[in-house]
Amino acid sequence: MKTQVAIIGAGPSGLLLGQLLQRQGIDNVILERKSGEYVLSRIRAGVLEQGMVDLLREAGVDERMDVEGLPHDGVELAFDNRRVRVDLAGLTGGKSVMVYGQTEVTRDLMAAREAVGGITLYEVDNVQPHDLETDSPDAKPYITFEKDGETHRLDCDYVAGCDGFHGVSRRSIPEGRIKEFERVYPFGWLGMLSDTPPVADELIYARHERGFALCSMRSAQRSRYYIQVALDEKVEGWSDERFWDELKRRLPEETAQALVTGPSIEKSIAPLRSFVVEPMQYGRLFLVGDAAHIVPPTGAKGLNLAASDVNTLYRLMVKVFKEGRTDLIPRYSDTCLKRIWKAERFSWWMTSMLHKFSDEDDFNSRMQQAELDYVTSSEAGLTTIAENYVGLPYESLE
């Protein structure tokens, strides 16, 4: 098999990159270790920045999003038994976010790829990139993989590693060629999905002495709630009743009283970490999304950062294949990292301001309180949150 761009990973970043390239006539093949059904079963975030919404429109997968998605012009911070609204649109010149589940984004991209005849190979094993970096100008990379018990070879010009934190792409880079930056947080998020109407029209980020809480949604009738828990907690220890009771304790009284409870559809616990690798490129391999960086979910940057990587790599590949601009290839990593570190800072800051870190750290608690008091009483502080939440502008390669 031969293609121009081999994409490892059929999550939303791999599918979005494939769809954008396909529409430009750039041939690509996607390899995915899991089944399509498994990919769609993963419950993930659902807040899309304006930049990602625009990119989905460019990819031609906006029809269902425009019908079912929920545009949000604001977000709320809750603390000291009160709620403060951050006017996203008013503070950023009309920008907003779209609440539309990552599962639905993936479903739309799968359907679009099938419609244009793009090749996606699911349930492939032992994926291994080769010859990613070579001194020979004529040598090109290739990927070996197993499908239905047979070994195959995929020759390509470039490889996009969109296979996540645990994927093979980053592990294919020799030791010493990249540097890792990481911070692991001493807590996780217990998330619950339920077919109940959201408690508010906009997301609520709550700081409480018992721990952080987030009220989110997937639609007008489906809610997604989170509470901060210790890393040693198990999902099995949290009944629906216990979850709802704890969530109510962490919300302002008026909000807790308005909460509509019901049976859970899904529960899961996710650890929190900040993680970045530099550079995001090795020879003809480009790391995209979670393969190169992880952010805490506070601030909703994970999927959106992957989309900004896709935007950079997509425009780079168009320049390479349409204009012969191979001189731009070395700029990929630096271009992506400029935006990534700003998003890492925002996610770290929001996490630090809203979570309970220790029962003994009274100083840190007072600093959190002072920070919240300042940013919610200052237009400059509110603007900082708004600008980062709707998404900073995409970086240009030139």
Which residues are tagged catalytic? Answer: 72, 205, 297, 301, 389
Whether the ω angle into residue 296 lies within 30 degrees of 0, i.e. cis, is no
Cα 43 from chain centre: 12
Cα 312 from chain centre: 16
Residue appearing with tokens 């490889």: 159
Q: Which two tokens stand for residue 295?
A: 């952010």
Q: At what angle do helices 379-390 and 332-354 cross, to 10 degrees?
A: 130
Backbone angles phi, psi at 71, to 5 degrees: -65, 135
Angle ∠(230,236,239) on CA atoms, nearest 5: 95
Where in the chain does DSSP place strands (E)?
A: 5-8, 28-31, 47-48, 70-72, 74-79, 82-87, 97-99, 119-121, 125-130, 142-147, 150-155, 158-161, 179-194, 204-206, 213-217, 223-229, 264-278, 281-282, 285-287, 293-294
d(CA 309, CA 17): 9
Residue appearing with tokens 């100008």: 137
